[in-house]
Amino acid sequence: MKNIPLNERIIFALDFSDPEVAQEWVKRLDRYIKFFKVGLQLFLAGGWSVVEDIIQRGNKVMVDLKFFDIPETVRLAVQQLKGRGITFATIHGNEPIIKAAVSEKEGLKILAVTLLTSFDESDMREMGMTCSIKDFVALRSRKAIDLGCDGVISSALDVPAMRRDLGNNFLIVTPGIRPGLNCDIEHDDQRRIATARQAIINGADYVVIGRPISTSPEPVSAVQSIQEEIADGLAEL
């Protein structure tokens, strides 16, 4: 079992278009959560100042920009992340793209996206894929780890097979997390979902959660409830 503090197991998704709103959420929650995700929406709205503010408050940041471009562009993009105190960065891509990203990581941890949790089998068919999600994720995760990524981003549903086939010496971060049995978030675009407890039992190290906390009438209570789920899951390992 990896030595990850409970208050870092949840990566809170700062999916906001207003940097000031995002910063208020960090101030509201960082007594309880010490890891935050800055994605495309917030990064384009607030840039590096948002990332720097989070880190200066003693928190960790996952910059979730999912770099996917020609290898040299990805290499130079990852280069821009170094030396800024960022913990995780995400990428898409084939072997040359992954190699380019890994070549510049130094103290940064590179996580490869296997398949977005908003995708299901019908989406695979629409993209012309003939393999199953299971086989696709297995191929992508093995390739990422073999090429030097520190971990992957993947649905909790895919994690047991990854742990069985690839072991424990890499990180798994799982989005698509819903608290308890309440998975009915209005206008939700996530399809392959799971609870935090199940994700941890399956072998995930971190869970990414946004709307179940930000739309809760009592966000702190929601955080504490999800942390209890995680603790219960860890106790079963």
Residues labelled catalytic: 66
Which residue, 119, 98, 105, is CA-closest to 63? 105
What residues pair up with 13 in beta bridges, in sequence order? 37
Burial 176-200 (b: 16+ CB within 10 A, else e): bbbbeeeeeeeeeebebbbbbbbbb
Counting beta carbons within 10 angstroms of the beta carbon of residue 142, is it exposed (0 to 12), middle (13 to 18) or buried (19 or more)? middle
Q: How does DSSP assign 26-92, residue by residue?
A: HHHHTTT--EEEEEHHHHHHHTHHHHHHHHHTT-EEEEEEEE-S-HHHHHHHHHHHTTTT--EEEE-
Pairing of strands 10-13, 88-91: unpaired
- Sequence length of the chain is 237
Contact between 108 and 78 under an 8 Å Cβ cutoff? The reply is yes
What residues pair up with 39 in beta bridges, in sequence order? 64
**Token pair listed for 200:** 């941890």
Counting beta carbons within 10 angstroms of the beta carbon of residue 71, is it exposed (0 to 12), middle (13 to 18) or buried (19 or more)? middle
